């Protein structure tokens, strides 16, 4: 039986994190070739590389710090050599919990560069390839914080809200070329990086906000991304999938 993403090529940023690794493996299991970008977690990338080799797909791994334009430029040069990229998942993201009045310029710039600026310039370059091929699926990993304006993550919430705005803009430009662009807005998802947050007061406050009264799982995010890119739907663009357990309504 033919796999859903057989013959497709996907570029995923933030590939060494919880979402990134799971996304890479899920796409690979559906026959998708991969271009994976990560910053520094070489141990996790080696584990992922071993798993991908068992799946008989082609993959490239690029080490780059997308907070720096010089490193983004390195990725753009690589992309320009490609004749085909079918799927782009802008997954790279960072956060730093800080009270609104204490956010400094350095943290603002770092979060904006990783979460929004890198996504914009990578999308701009990949879009050119998709436009020529008259096909593309772009998914931006935003955040529930962009919807309910996380109180102690103002710079993060603003960057992720910008990603939603970019999603709608790209959807408008991409529609004539069969390029669909959507965003995923997860709430607090159980990963190694969120363990501390989940166990603290912030985790309790979040649970109180949700309708389902529990945290999300990585599989909730991955399955939503697969729905958007696998051909199971071809009429959804410029939209935001809210995966917050109803926190936006709570």
- Give Cβ neighbours of residue 32 (< 8 Å, ≥ 6 apart): 5, 6, 8, 9, 10, 57, 87
pLDDT tens sequence across 135-180? 999 999 999 999 877 678 899 999 999 999 999 999 999 999 999 9
Residue 89's φ and ψ, nearest 5 degrees, are -120, 105
Residue 241's φ and ψ, nearest 5 degrees, are -90, 115
pLDDT averaged over every residue in the chain: 93
Cβ atoms of 8 and 31 closer than 8 Å: yes
Cβ atoms of 11 and 37 closer than 8 Å: yes
pLDDT tens sequence across 30-88? 999 999 999 989 999 999 999 999 998 999 999 999 999 999 999 999 999 999 999 99
Higher pLDDT, 148 or 120: 120
DSSP 216: B
pLDDT tens sequence across 93-110? 999 989 999 999 999 999
Which pTM value belongs to this model? 0.95
**What ranges do the domains of the chain cover?**
9-243
Least confident window among 88-97, 111-120, 183-192, 202-211: 202-211
Report the share of the chain in percent with pLDDT over 70.
94
User: Which positions are catalytic?
Assistant: 156
Superfamily of domain 9-243 in CATH is: NAD(P)-binding Rossmann-like Domain (3.40.50.720)
Cβ atoms of 92 and 116 closer than 8 Å: no
What number of CA atoms fall less than 13 Å from residue 68's CA on the CB side? 7
Confidence of residue 193 (pLDDT cuts 50, 70, 90): low
Q: How many residues does the chain have?
A: 250
Confidence of residue 223 (pLDDT cuts 50, 70, 90): very high
Confidence of residue 210 (pLDDT cuts 50, 70, 90): confident
CA dist., res. 126 & res. 121, Å (int):
9
């Amino acid at each position: 039986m033919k796999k859903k993403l057989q013959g497709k090529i996907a570029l995923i940023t933030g590939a060494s994190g919880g979402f990134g690794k799971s996304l890479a493996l899920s796409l690979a299991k559906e026959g998708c070739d991969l271009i994976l970008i990560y910053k520094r977690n070489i141990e996790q990338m080696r584990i992922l590389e071993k798993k991908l080799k068992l799946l008989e797909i082609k993959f490239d791994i690029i080490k780059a710090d997308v907070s720096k334009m010089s490193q983004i430029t390195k990725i753009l040069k690589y992309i320009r050599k490609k004749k085909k990229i079918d799927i782009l998942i802008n997954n790279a993201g960072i956060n730093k919990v800080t009270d609104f009045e204490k956010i400094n310029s350095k943290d603002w710039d770092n979060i904006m560069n990783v979460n929004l600026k890198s996504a914009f310039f990578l999308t701009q370059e990949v879009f050119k390839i998709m436009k020529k091929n008259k096909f593309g699926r772009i998914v931006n990993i935003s955040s529930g914080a962009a919807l309910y304006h996380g109180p102690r993550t103002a710079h993060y919430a603003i960057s992720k809200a910008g990603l939603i705005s970019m999603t709608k803009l790209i959807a408008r430009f991409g529609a004539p070329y069969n390029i669909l662009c959507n965003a995923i807005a997860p709430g607090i998802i159980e990963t190694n990086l969120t363990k501390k947050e989940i166990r603290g007061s912030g985790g309790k406050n979040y649970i109180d906000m949700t309708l389902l009264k529990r945290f999300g799982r990585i599989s909730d995010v991955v399955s939503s991304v697969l729905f958007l890119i696998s051909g199971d739907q071809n009429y959804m663009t410029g939209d935001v999938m809210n995966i917050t357990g109803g926190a936006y309504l709570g």
